Chain A
């Protein structure tokens, strides 16, 4: 058997690795060892790794090898494929789940999160728990250095940040150490780091993916989703984890990805022009260059979102729910153990939100839901640049210009409504930092959204461009 080398493994897609496994060019054990080495050599220096899981990886690789030898489950696209998860998904077997926070460095759980169980059933091989902003930003933070593992360096330029809170999930994929990872988003935490790191990030419809076993930031806004280097790879992963959840109150929807059934369908795009105009000139130029690709796929209509305080509504909901989930943490000495000094006090402010204001925010969210349902009765996909700036410097606090406090109206409103979104890379700015295109679809229209994103991705041709990360 001719085993593949590190140079073959790095940046190989889920599909490519699967082909090599099926052709006998490598074993799941080979891939696990290559992934563990790449995580140590490439991802760990970026502060993207919390804990490696070598024993678990080798055990799961052996189980996958048995399936190959017995011919069971060979149609599983992720059989034998290495991956990592944001460290807010619970893992059993003594492997800690830190939620990115120093005081919880040794926190362990008795059971795996449902997402991890599903990936194991599909034959994937868990190699690492990946870095994140402490408590997924639940402490509030002004700077990249708000994580147990320190600030996460962007593989494209290590003087810049990865974005957060799924920092390690984006960086480990972007540096080639893993073909895919799992992140979570409450308000921008998959899309922003995926865009900053030049990879694809998918935020599924709320509750399409089980949240069982995941740390809660906001019960009503948290979503779990994949990060990979192509839309197809994200879709392969989402097919495994986007299934009805028998363990919780989740939906009965099952995600399927059938590109051939929708390839020819005309797509009605809605462009949020105000947000496109707020972007830096480089981002605007790359965004404009994508428009002809979109026109080939259908029609484009310029649109505006109604003027509502989306950011304030989201903040009230998230802070209210976080203050309940983290009540014990906030009232204990643990709060002072968070890395970012500002996080030692901001959570106390959450407790001053009145119940009537939380309820009012929920009522306004119902309006947002109605607004987006109306918009999506007229169009299929809303688009904007994913962020208005590329990755910020790693050694400085966030600035108002980075729009850290509010996020884009499309990102926040669609997070409030629980609608799905994807970001795909569309080029590099003049500082050679990645720029992303954000696409938002209707509720449970995840398949249509990803099929369209894959078509645009092919048109943009990013996959044909070799990544040029600057590693430390």
Chain B
């Protein structure tokens, strides 16, 4: 499912409840950690990507899993 589009920059399409608060908190933490190394354009870009990754995670969380679906921590394409 596509939640965002790219047209000269990622543009969010639609909204997810509570998403804005979480993203702003993540953004705040990153900016504080990077201490002024990110300019205004970068902040705008970063916000869009934080939203994009949240929505990717939401999309993956919607896939039904069974208890048998184990993560392959040592990946082997034959298994």
Instruction: Provide the bound-state CA to CA distance between A342 and B42, in Å.
Output: 7
Bound-state CA distance A206–B77 (Å) is 7
Would you call A262 an interface residue if the criterion is a C-beta within 8 Å of the partner chain's C-beta atoms?
Answer: no
How many residues from B make CB contacts under 8 Å with A? 41
* Min CB gap A117→B, angstroms: 24
| In the complex, chain B residues 1-47 whose Cβ is within 8 Å of any chain A Cβ | 1-2, 5-9, 26, 30, 34, 37-38, 41-43, 45-46
Given contacts A369-B77, A399-B7, contact A312 B46 (CB under 8 A): no
Q: List residues 49-67 of chain B with CB under 8 A from any CB of chain A.
A: 49-50, 52-54, 56-57, 59-63, 65
Distance, CA A398 to CA B6, complexed state (A): 8
**Contact present for B77 and A319 (CB under 8 Å):** no
Nearest opposing residue in chain A for B11, CB measure: A400
What residues on B are CB-neighbors of A312 within 8 Å?
56-57, 59-60
Name the B residues within 8 Å of A353 (CB-CB). 53, 57
**A358 shortest CB reach to chain B, Å:** 9
Is A472's CB within 8 Å of the partner chain B? no
Interface centre among A142, A312, A315, A369 (most CB of B within 10 A): A312
Which residue on B lies nearest to A346, using beta carbons? B49
User: CA–CA, A361 to B1, complex, Å?
Assistant: 15
Q: How far is the CA of A364 from the CA of B30 in the complex (A)?
A: 29
Report the minimum CB–CB distance from B62 to chain A (whole Å): 8
Could you tell me if A348 and B77 are in contact, using CB atoms closer than 8 angstroms? no
Bound: A444/B79 CA distance, A: 12
Please, which residue of chain A has its CB at the minimum distance from the CB of B9?
A142
Asked whether A345 is an interface residue with its Cβ less than 8 Å from the other chain, the reply is: yes
Cβ contact of B72, chosen from A205, A354, A357, A362, cutoff 8 A: A362
A residues in contact with B30, CB < 8 Å: 348, 351-352
A313 within 8 A of B: yes
- Within 8 Å by CB of B61, from A140, A341, A357, lies A357
Q: Which residues of A contact B7 (CB under 8 A)?
A: 399-400
Residue in A309, A369, A397, A406 whose beta carbon sits within 8 Å of that of B79 in the complex: A369
Shortest beta-carbon distance from B11 to chain A in Å: 9
Judge whether B60 and A349 touch: CB under 8 Å.
no
For residue A101, CB closer than 8 A to chain B, the reply is no
A366 to B73, CA, bound (A): 10
The answer to whether A399 and B6 have CB atoms under 8 Å apart is yes
B79 smallest CB distance to A (angstroms): 7
Q: Which of A346, A350, A400 contacts B45 (CB 8 A)?
A: A346
When chains A and B are docked, how far (Å) is the Cα of A336 from the Cα of B6? 23
Question: Given A342-B45, A357-B57: A400 and B5 within 8 A (CB)?
Answer: yes
B23 — nearest CB in chain A belongs to which residue? A352
Known: A341-B41, A345-B42, A345-B46. A366 touches B72 (CB 8 A): yes
B73 touches A309 (CB 8 A): no
What is the CA–CA distance of A351 and B31 in the complex, to the nearest angstrom?
13
> Which residues of A, 353-386, contact B by the 8 Å Cβ criterion?
353-354, 357, 359-367, 369
Question: How far apart are B60's CB and chain A's nearest CB, in angstroms?
Answer: 5
Q: Which of A140, A206, A342, A398 contacts B75 (CB 8 A)?
A: A206
CA distance A315 to B58 in the complex (A): 13
Whether the pair A367, B49 counts as a contact (CB closer than 8 A) is no
**What's the minimum C-beta distance from A235 to chain B, rounded to whole angstroms?**
20
CB <8 Å contact, A366 and B77: no
Minimum CB–CB distance from B31 to chain A (whole Å) comes to 9
A404 touches B1 (CB 8 A): no
- A contact residues around B70 at 8 Å (CB): 363, 366
Do the beta carbons of B53 and A359 come within 8 Å of each other?
no
A-B contact pairs, 16 of them (CB 8 A): A140-B49, A206-B75, A309-B59, A316-B60, A319-B53, A345-B46, A346-B45, A348-B46, A352-B53, A360-B61, A362-B72, A366-B69, A367-B65, A369-B77, A443-B77, A443-B78
Instruction: Spell out B's residues near A (CB within 8 Å).
Output: 1-2, 5-9, 26, 30, 34, 37-38, 41-43, 45-46, 49-50, 52-54, 56-57, 59-63, 65, 69-79
